[in-house]
Copies of this chain bind each other. A is one copy, B any other.
Amino acid sequence: MKGFKFAGIHAGIKKNDQKDLGLIYCEKPSVAAALFTRNKVIAAPVILGKEKIKIGVCRAVLANSGNANCFTGNQGIEDARACSKMVADCLDIEEDHVLVSSTGVIGANLPMDKFKTGVPDVVQQLSEDNVDQFADAILTTDTCRKIVNRSATIDNKKFSIMGIAKGSGMIRPDMATMLAYICTDICISADDLNKCLSAANEKSFNRITVDGDTSTNDTLMAMASGTSEAQINDAGSKKIFQDMLDDVCFELAKMVVKDGEGATKLAQIIIKGAQTKKDAFKAAEAIAHSNLVKTAIYGEDPNWGRITAAVGRSGAHVVPEKIDLYFDDQALVLKGDWQGTEAEKKTAQIMKNSEITITLDLNLGQETDSFLFCDFSEDYVKINADYRS
Contact = CB atoms under 8 A, between A and B. Distances in A.
- Chain A interface, DSSP helix/strand/loop, else mixed: loop
30 contacts: A38-B313, A40-B313, A40-B317, A41-B309, A41-B318, A68-B305, A70-B305, A71-B336, A106-B303, A106-B305, A106-B309, A107-B338, A172-B313, A212-B289, A212-B291, A213-B290, A213-B292, A213-B310, A214-B312, A216-B305, A216-B309, A216-B312, A292-B384, A295-B381, A298-B381, A299-B385, A299-B389, A301-B385, A303-B387, A377-B381
Interface in A201-217: 211-216
* Copies of this chain in the oligomer: 2
A15 interface: no
Interface residues of A, number: 61
B377 A311 contact: no
A370 interface: no
A213 B304 CA distance: 14
A215 B290 CA distance: 12
A105 interface: yes
Interface of A: 38-42, 68, 70-71, 73, 105-107, 169-170, 172, 174, 211-216, 289-292, 295-296, 298-299, 301, 303-306, 308-313, 317-318, 320-321, 333, 336-338, 376-378, 380-382, 384-389
A213 B378 contact: no
Nearest to A301: B388
Nearest to A70: B305
